[in-house]
Structure 1
Amino acid sequence: MRDINLNIKPGSFTAVIGQTGSGKSTLIQHLNALLKPSSGTVTIGDRTIDATTKNKHLKPLRKKVGIVFQFPENQLFEETVLKDIAFGPQNFGVPTDEAMTLAKKMALLVGLDESLLKRSPFDLSGGQMRRVAIAGVLALEPEVLVLDEPTAGLDPRGRLEIMQLVTQLQSEQDLTIVLITHQMDDVANYADHVIVMAHGEMVKQGTPRAIFSDADWLESYQLGLPSATRFANQLIKAGFTFDPMPLTEDELADQLLPQLSKEGHDHG
């Protein structure tokens, strides 16, 4: 990676998009110093990291920024769901009783029923395992939650449930969210800021509306449009007009319904 210069605001929902190999995962590993910059600095809160920062000084930071990696269920290993969620806090020195209480609270927060807590995490569905992994990171009580493709491999309902959970956590826990995703609909529906990566560089950043306003530019980086925007482009060819271009299904419906009713009235 080179020449990355960006600012992620507290409380924001930032999506990071780009083709496989563009540098997305490398970028997020700098956010809690799993990787340290070879030149330049990374500042998180009041802490600045550079190439000389000693690893022993990084533990508090890794509590502040929690990362849920892609297919996080591969990182589950304890014999029960509760123990798995409690593992992180215990690793940071929280006494077992406190860690277990915290784990129960976080399990409830991510929508895991209490009846599941004594079961093996490997007996759960894919969506439930994903929730266990998220709860384990939340048990560290981070200020920033970084999610690398949190809906990968889930069916449409599972994807929707995980994204609804993420937005609920953001508002209820006052979290800053950083989301790596290939799902442009999720970017349109949830993000307020978008970072586009290519060849280890940040090639563009802005609001979802600004990023999705140039279909040709996105195509040049092999990136798509949200499905509502794609559909609107097809409708334009049939004589419909949109201003601004809709990004979400709700925006599409809001602009389309008056035109459909007018067309029906004209024919009537």
Structure 2
Amino acid sequence: MDIAFEKVNYWYQAGTPFAVQALYDINLNIPAGAFTAVIGQTGSGKSTLIQHLNALLKPTEGQVIIGDRTITPETKNKHLKPLRKKVGLVFQFPENQLFEETVLKDIAFGPQNFGISEEEADKLARQTAKMVGLDESLLERSPFDLSGGQMRRAAIAGVLALEPDVLVLDEPTAGLDPRGRNDIMGLVRHLQAEKQLTIVLITHQMDDVANYADHVIVMAHGHMVRQGTPREVFSDVAWLNENQLELPTATAYANQLIQKGFTFDPLPLTADELADQLVPQLAKQGVADHG
């Protein structure tokens, strides 16, 4: 499901003395099946942008095209329910989405809300829980008795139970330790491959962008200031520094090594890429030292 923004402007409290513009003339494309990361400083407009993807917000001006649906300022809310089934949004803090007595009921709530029978919703919830790695023994427990990582999985399962084409995740690894972060990101990548999902990820973790994304959108002060592949975005180190954006760990380390005489072409984005270029150079240095 392709997504396009065409000349989108958005104001909070539009038409009032308290109006604040949050998005300015956004024109972008998110390809179907892509893993798109949205990055930028706090307050850059990332969350406002992604809330347009399932019409939690509608553009004040311009239009958002999602598959065969076009959302304009005049689009009526009653016409948006089918879209919200196709575009699933997982918020940053999963406890904001978990509310039922048990994990199973929570996952099954969405399908039932869209008219699926209780029996079918229960079956779908169990399948989805298994898909995201939640053990069946957890399904009758309160979602608030789960660990942070398990809560993330339960929240993602509740969205996946609607069988969306697009999965939008707002900082899904916030507050998790490195192992928990890797587990969640590995799950997202697996789901993308298995379900052919379009993934849109808001993150401050540049390593996750380098390791998983194939398309990057950079936001600043409500404007889209750059988009491209991770290599295109992270290759301009000076521009990233000017815009107070971090580099992936491997890229930052390679940049330090350049000052010591090492060379990299292209600039590595991941630990594997760094090792592939660094090991031969270290080997040559070792030979030279022994010579």
TM superposition score category, shorter chain reference: over 0.9
Q: Which residue of 2 aligns with 1:57?
A: 79
1:243 aligns with 2:270: no
Q: How far did 1:73 drift?
A: 2.3
Counterpart of 1:41 in 2: which secondary structure? strand
1:256 aligns with 2:255: no
Q: How far did 1:221 drift?
A: 1.6
| Structure 2 stretches lacking a partner, 5+ long | 1-22
Indicate the percent of aligned positions where both proteins have the same amino acid: 78
Counterpart of 2:226 in 1: which secondary structure? strand
1:227 aligns with 2:249: yes
Q: 1:184 aligns with which of 206, 226, 234?
A: 206
Asked if structure 2 preserves the Cα contact closer than 8 Å seen for 1:215 and 1:224, the reply is no
Q: Which residue of 1 aligns with 2:17?
A: none
Q: 2:92 aligns with which of 70, 75, 86?
A: 70
For residues 22-70 of structure 1, give each alpha carbon's deviation from its aligned partner in whole angstroms, at most 9, with x where no partner exists: 0000000000111011111101110101011110000000000000011
Q: Which residue of 2 aligns with 1:166?
A: 188
Q: Which residue of 2 aligns with 1:143?
A: 165
Q: Residue type of the partner of 2:218?
A: V
Residues 1-268 of structure 1: matches in 2 within 5 Å? 1-268=23-290
Distance 2:266 2:86 in 1: 38
| Structure 1 stretches lacking a partner, 5+ long | none
Distance 1:148 1:185 in 2: 16
Distance 2:141 2:61 in 1: 46
> Number of aligned pairs?
268
Counterpart of 1:257 in 2: which secondary structure? helix
Q: How far did 1:266 drift?
A: 1.9
Q: How far did 1:247 drift?
A: 0.4
Q: How far did 1:74 drift?
A: 2.8
Distance 1:21 1:72 in 2: 21
Distance 2:121 2:54 in 1: 22
Q: How far did 1:100 drift?
A: 0.6
Q: Which has the higher strand share?
A: 2
Higher mean Cα deviation, 67-76 or 199-208? 67-76
Q: How far did 1:222 drift?
A: 1.3
Q: Which has the higher helix share?
A: 1
Distance 2:253 2:211 in 1: 16
Counterpart of 1:15 in 2: which secondary structure? strand
Q: How far did 1:78 drift?
A: 0.8
Q: Residue type of the partner of 1:132?
A: A
Asked if structure 2 preserves the Cα contact closer than 8 Å seen for 1:195 and 1:205, the reply is yes
Distance 1:19 1:184 in 2: 12
Q: Which has the higher contact order (CA 8 A, sep 6+)?
A: 1
Q: How far did 1:214 drift?
A: 1.2
